[in-house]
Amino acid sequence: MQIKPQAKYLKDYQAPSHEVTRLELTFDLHPTKTKVKAKAHYIANCGTTSLVLDGVGLTLLSINVNGQPFEHFECQEQHLQLSNLPNEFELEIETEISPKTNTSLEGLYLSGGAYCTQCEAEGFRKITYFLDRPDVLTIYTVTVIGEQSMPCLLSNGNQVESGQLDDGRHFAKWHDPFKKPSYLFALVAGDFDKLEDMFVTCSGRKVNLVLFVDKGNLAKAPHAMASLKRAMKWDESRFKLEYDLDIYMIVAVDFFNMGAMENKGLNVFNSACVLANQQTATDRDYHTIESIVGHEYFHNWTGNRVTCRDWFQLSLKEGLTVFRDQEFSSDLGSRGLNRIDAVMAMRTHQFAEDAGPMAHPIRPNKVIEMNNFYTVTVYNKGAEVIRMMHTLLGEENFQKGMQLYFERHDGQAVTCDDFVAAMQDASQTNLSQFKLWYEQVGTPTLTVATEFDDISATYTCTFTQKNAQNDPVQSPLHIPFAIELLDKNGHALALKVNGKTTSKIIDVTHPEQSITFEQIPEQPVAVLLEDFSAPVIVNYDYKLSELVHIIAHASSDYARWEATQQAFKLEVLEGVKQYNAHGTISLSCELVDTFNALLCKRQGDLALLAELIRVPSFDTLSSEFECIPVDALNTCIVQFELDIATRLANPLKQTYESCEEKGEMSHKAVSARALKNVCLYYLAMVCDEKILSWIQSQLDCDNMTLKLGALKAVFNAQLPCSEPSMAVFDSQWRHDLLVMDKWFALQATQKSDQAIANIKNLYEHPCFDKSNPNRVRALVGSFARGNAVQFHRLDGQGYRLLGDLLVELNAINPQNASRMLTPFMSWKRYDKARQKLMKEQLERLSKLTDLSGDLYEKVDKALN
């Protein structure tokens, strides 16, 4: 019988019943019979004599209170209830767990041969009975006992003792001087290679840095180490934040549900987010690794030193830390390109979440399974909300706010309100209307009307804002709206209001409001919502000629890219019309000429140029439609790409030839490779001898960015060399599963009708393993998210493939299953035939007798 999982509500928050002053844990490691002793000192907060501890899947061995066996307890499925307790007491609980059979990758589990933990959000309760909630902070002392075959026995903080035991095993004891919640606890035990380094902090303290990787992987560790040092330095200089322990450890493991985890002093990382060298990792991987290493490091202050009162406040640490990692990447690399990445994630994934059944505020108020709320809304939209505050306050006041936040709350578990209060008080800015961003749901729209008056030489913008239909907050938001006005030569006009020069940020706060710019001598072209200054949809009827003007002249790289996106949107709307009328689909000459000019000039950052000429993905373009026209959209994308390839073959060739790089990692070389790959992608569609020779030399080189770029190009164009090249890659890289993930991902995007049979065959590939989230995401995730042609087949085979997998994953790893389910969440946005087929799969899942809470929550929302 299925029990309906219970929801928790933000409004029901109650402070914890007890304070825990210290916790001593002892782990006696064994694959199926690990014994965990937890000795803790509890003090009742309000005279209560009972205590309810969280615990899931534990075998209880013994309970002592103040050294005596204790009998007043009741063991329930998810709790341990104790009664008749004194006000203050020492509780000692011994439990047994089985890491080897824990395939959920939450709690203590085995990854390959190594023990590791994942406790956020509520995994600590799979290790021992405890008050497993973020507002119970305590001091941890942890003893790990293991076999000699596991020389590294690690936990948080500093190692204070280690030694040999009489039975031939050994132990290590760790003490973390900082109070922390249970979700930041970590334990790792295994046999690793170590890369060691050192960082001297701004106050002159020496910090040991240690990176633990699987044996044989040392050569792939230096980039992550260098990234960590850059992150430590950057946080000191930009945020005045210094690291606080004597050691910082990162362990790379192969079985991991997410990217990484910020456990105090002992980060656990998915190996895909650590390991890199030129032969195995792309430039993109290098960038991702640097940003994730930074992100986890930045959590040390925003998350660990100041944490969340309850899980509804997750964006307090995640939105803020994403903002910080974005700034880190932008300060160290290209601000424009990083902004493009961030906005692409918002438009493509977050707007879709906002428009679907999982829509929630950045501070959700109702949750069944917390793991379902590590979303693009909480993370990325949360970061946009922090960014808006930064825009409104400016860097100086924002940093004052950060300092005040730490002054007030260091060592505490707090709320988003506390954060905004610190920002408000430090900057003397009223943020009361702004705070609605924490409650509102869905993407607001801002309709812009403009009017140029040549007699008075004024330009008036009128804004009408509208909350999303599904938004319970139906009142106006505070929207910082950035604008630039270009004259006919492409120069930015000075912005003057009431005779005074004004900032480019307009505070839009009313349902409808206008602003009139003066001394505007001619009809300008307006660059609206420059830099995506707020997470809103702008409605404005751009003409293609205006967009072309922006692409050529806007001062911000981001704005130029954004204009290409808008231009493609116009093209695709027209293309879909043509498709329905059986007309010809082709790109406007005006846009092709613009690309031609860009390719001929090749000015500025080449990586930006690569982004400007790329056709947006199916997922990005589909957000323009209420009912997604799958077949028309797929046809448009293929046709647009072919159009660019054929009509711009010469400039693409010249551009390809002009790109100079010698495999080095400088920004210039990375940009050149990005542009080379985009050119080659198009050129493979119009292949000739010369192009083939370029392809071959990229396939043969030992730089993964170039090799994979060429492989993608031939695979997409289905050149005769595609199959043999894929086979060579397979035999060359079978020993390296992270590289094979790239190959799996590419296989999954095959457009031909063979795709599904091929994927089923690949399930049997020696490198594939359904219990490893990286493999599943590479193969099936790439299929469902990146192969619109085959996933949305009208015979339902694509949906069935995902449905079949979800049934299996539900039993193996509910967290991964739930994430893989996401493509089904937007089922209502497709045509009736596809809706029916997707719904069938959701209904099939809803009937599983062992349906996990993770899937239940999303399936239920999708269907009801």
Please identify, among the stretches 291-299, 587-595, 721-729, 853-861, the one whose residues bind ligand B3K according to the rule CB under 6 A: 291-299
Q: Is the distance from CB of 853 to CB of 814 less than 8 angstroms?
A: yes
Cβ proximity to ligand B3K: between 155 and 424 the closer is: 155
CA 245 to chain centre: 27
Residue 77 catalytic? no
Strand blocks (E) in 684-779: none
* Closest CB to ligand B3K among residues 560, 777: 777
Strands (E), 423-560: 445-453, 458-466, 479-486, 496-497, 500-501, 505-508, 512-517, 525-528, 537-539
Cis (ω within 30 of 0) for the bond into 189?
A: no
Q: Helix/strand/coil (H, E, C) string of 410-427? A: CCCEECHHHHHHHHHHHH
Single out the catalytic residue among 296, 327, 562, 571. Answer: 296
Give yes or no for residue 132 binding ligand B3K (CB under 6 A).
Answer: no
Query: Please, what is the minimum distance in Å from the beta carbon of residue 290 to Zn ion?
Result: 15
- Judge whether 79 and 70 are in contact, CB under 8 Å: no
Nearer to ligand B3K, 24 or 296 (CB): 296
The region of 294-302, 347-355, 402-410, 620-628 touching ligand B3K under the rule CB under 6 A is: 294-302
Min separation Cβ 185 and Zn ion, Å: 16
* Cβ distance to Zn ion smaller for residue 291 or 443: 291
Residue corresponding to tokens 């341990």: 80
In the complex, the smallest distance separating the C-beta of residue 122 from ligand B3K, rounded to whole angstroms, is: 9
3-state secondary structure of 234: helix
* Among residues 36, 82, 108, 121, the one that binds ligand B3K under rule CB under 6 A: 121
Can residue 826 be called a binding residue for ligand B3K (CB under 6 A)? no
With CB under 5 to 8 Å by kind, the binding choice for 594 among ligand B3K, Zn ion, none is none
Told to check if 261 binds ligand B3K by CB under 6 A, we report: yes
Closest contact distance (angstroms) between CB of 322 and ligand B3K is 8
819, 786 contact by CB (below 8 A): no
Beta bridge partners, 172, equal: 144, 162
Residue with tokens 């940003």: 291
* Complex with Zn ion: residue 327 or 562, whichever CB lies closer: 327
Spatial distance between the Cα atoms of 716 and 678, rounded to a whole number of angstroms = 12
Q: Which stretch binds ligand B3K (CB under 6 A): 11-19, 255-263, 799-807, 844-852?
A: 255-263
Helix (H, G, I), strand (E, B) or coil at 740: helix
Binding pattern for the stretch 310-349 against Zn ion, x by CB under 5 A and - elsewhere: --------x--x----------------------------
From ligand B3K, Zn ion, none, interface partner of 772 (C-beta below 5 to 8 A by class) = none
Q: Residue 125 or residue 400: which is nearer to ligand B3K going by CB?
A: 125
763-802: which residues touch ligand B3K (CB under 6 A)? none
User: What is d(CA 4, CA 12) in angstroms, rounded to the nearest whole number?
Assistant: 19
Nearest-approach distance from CB 818 to ligand B3K, in angstroms: 10
Residue closer to ligand B3K by CB (options 257, 703) is 257
Closest-CA residue to 530 (of 508, 505, 548)? 505
Check binding of 369 to ligand B3K (CB under 6 A): no
How many other β-carbons are positioned within 10 Å of the β-carbon of residue 473? 17
Should residue 235 be labelled a site residue for ligand B3K when binding is judged by CB under 6 A? no
Residue 659's identity, in one-letter code, is C
Find the binder of ligand B3K among 189, 251, 258, 748 (CB under 6 A).
Answer: 258
Q: Which is nearer to Zn ion, 173 or 819 (CB)?
A: 819
- In the list Zn ion, ligand B3K, none, the entry touching 261 (Cβ below 5 to 8 angstroms by class) is ligand B3K
By CB under 6 A, tell whether 295 contacts ligand B3K.
yes
Listing from the earlier edge strand, what are the strands of the sheet with 505-508? 505-508, 479-486, 525-528
Rounded Cα gap, residues 7 and 654, in angstroms: 59
Phi, psi angle pair for 609, to nearest 5°: -55, -40
Q: How far is CA 359 from CA 352, 356, 365, 375, 843, in A?
A: 9, 6, 12, 10, 20
Task: Give the dihedral of Cα atoms 59, 65, 66, 68; nearest 10 deg.
Answer: -80
Q: How far is the CB of 754 from ligand B3K (least distance, A)?
A: 35
- Minimum Å distance from CB 653 to ligand B3K? 43
Contact between 374 and ligand B3K per CB under 6 A:
yes
Q: What's the CA gap between 107 and 98, in Å, rounded? A: 10
Sign of the C-alpha dihedral, residues 486, 487, 491, 493? negative
Q: In the bound complex, what is the minimum distance in angstroms from residue 852's beta carbon to ligand B3K?
A: 14
Angle at 707 between CA 701 and CA 709, to 5 degrees: 145
Residue 297 Cβ vs ligand B3K, minimum distance, rounded to whole Å: 10
Q: What is the smallest separation between the CB atom of 260 and ligand B3K, expressed in angstroms?
A: 6
Sole window of 257-265, 358-366, 390-398, 646-654 interacting with ligand B3K (rule: CB under 6 A): 257-265
Q: Which is nearer to ligand B3K, 319 or 798 (CB)?
A: 319
Query: 574 Cβ partners below 8 Å, 6+ apart?
Result: 588
Q: By rule CB under 6 A, what count of residues binds ligand B3K? A: 12
Tell me which of ligand B3K, Zn ion, none is bound by residue 268, counting a contact when its beta carbon lies within the kind-specific cut-off of 5 to 8 angstroms. none
- Residue 258 binding: pick among Zn ion, ligand B3K, none (C-beta 5-8 Å cut-off by kind): ligand B3K
Contacts of 71 (CB under 8 A, 6+ apart): none
Residues 385-414 that bind ligand B3K (CB under 6 A): none
Cβ atoms 126, 107 nearer than 8 A: yes
Checking 281-289 for CB contacts under 8 A at 24+ apart, the result is: 281/220, 281/223, 281/704, 281/738, 282/704, 282/705, 282/708, 282/742, 283/665, 283/670, 283/673, 283/674, 283/705, 284/705, 285/704, 286/223, 286/665, 286/670, 287/329, 287/333, 289/223, 289/224, 289/227
Which of ligand B3K, Zn ion, none does residue 371 bind (CB under 5 to 8 Å by kind)? ligand B3K
Closest to Zn ion by CB, 318 or 531: 318
With binding defined as CB under 6 A, does residue 371 bind ligand B3K?
yes
Name which of 182 and 321 has its Cβ closer to Zn ion. 321
How many residues make contact with Zn ion (CB under 5 A)?
A: 2
The Cα–Cα gap between 343 and 73 comes to: 52
Residue 551 contact among ligand B3K, Zn ion, none, beta carbon within 5 to 8 Å by kind: none
Query: What CA–CA distance (Å, rounded) separates 291 from 287?
Result: 6
Q: According to the binding rule CB under 6 A, does residue 120 interact with ligand B3K?
A: yes
Q: How far is the CB of 299 from Zn ion (least distance, A)?
A: 6
| Distance, CA of 687 to CA of 676 (rounded, Å) | 15
Q: Whole-number minimum distance, CB 43 to Zn ion, in Å?
A: 31
Site string for ligand B3K, 297-326 (x = CB under 6 A): --x------------------x--------
Pick 321 or 564: Cβ nearer Zn ion: 321
CB of residue 255 to Zn ion, shortest distance in Å? 20
Indicate the length of the chain as a whole number.
Answer: 864
Cβ count within 10 A of residue 165:
10
Task: Say which entry of Zn ion, ligand B3K, none residue 120 contacts (CB below 5 to 8 A, set by partner kind).
Answer: ligand B3K
Residue placing its CB nearer to ligand B3K in the complex, 121 or 621: 121
**Residue selected from 214, 235, 254, 262 as contacting ligand B3K according to rule CB under 6 A:** 262
Compute the distance between CA of residue 6 and CA of residue 721 in angstroms, rounded to an integer.
Answer: 55
CA 522 vs CA 457, 458, 460, 476, 485: distances in Å = 7, 9, 13, 32, 11
Which residues form the catalytic set?
Answer: 296
What does the binding site for ligand B3K look like in residue numbers (CB under 6 A)? 120-121, 258, 260-262, 295-296, 299, 318, 371, 374
What does the binding site for Zn ion look like in residue numbers (CB under 5 A)? 318, 321
